[in-house]
Amino acid sequence: MRFFFYGTLLDRDVIALVLGRRLSASAFAPASLPGHARRRVKGASYPIAVRDPKSRVAGAVVRGLSARDVARLAAYEGPRYRIVPLKVRISGALSIVSVFAPVEERFQATSGTWELPLWQRRHKRMFLARIRPALSALETNRRPGMPSTGSSAG
């Protein structure tokens, strides 16, 4: 399965913690989501993608995800996201992949953009400390779901 990630899941430590395994660098392909903008969620450190016909969101398409991986990703994202097919640009060509899209009416986006390097410097350590217990519980209990981390796609 192929998914487009545009937020915290672009961080290799976050995705490794969520999946319970490290992905090779070759699993990630640079990509962009046209017609959307990445905005920080009000009161949170993670982003959402919102419709904006003049913008595009840079991210990565990750290949080779198993059904187990997708179940863990869905548990990480929680009920405030749904999996939808969207067209992303990979190596100049449009391709349909899966994206964890926010249920937009449940979020309030800020007017500012969200940038991964800034998030990594300011919020990553606390974010990992907050999600690690929930992910450990998932691994221990082998349940298909876990408490929502309130995180972002991607």
Domain coverage including residue 131: 3-141
Residue 42 phi/psi, 5-degree rounding, is: -60, 130
The answer to the question of residue 148 being in a domain is no
- CATH number, position 16: 3.10.490.10
| Token pair for 140 | 């221990």
User: Per the structure, how many domains does the chain have?
Assistant: 1
The answer to the question of residue 31 being in a domain is yes
Confidence of residue 104 (pLDDT cuts 50, 70, 90): low
The answer to the question of residue 30 being in a domain is yes
Calculate what percentage of the chain has a pLDDT beyond 90.
70
DSSP 60-124: EEE----HHHHHHHHHHH-TTEEEEEEEEEETTEEEEEEEEEE-GGG--EEEEE--HHHHHHHTH
**Nearest alpha-carbon partner for 114 in 2, 3, 14, 10:** 10
pTM of the model: 0.86
The answer to the question of residue 42 being in a domain is yes
Confidence of residue 135 (pLDDT cuts 50, 70, 90): confident
Q: In this structure, is the dihedral angle defined by the CA atoms of residues 40, 45, 49 and 50, taken in order, positive or negative?
A: negative
The answer to the question of residue 71 being in a domain is yes
Confidence of residue 123 (pLDDT cuts 50, 70, 90): very high
| Token pair for 15 | 């995705």
The answer to the question of residue 83 being in a domain is yes
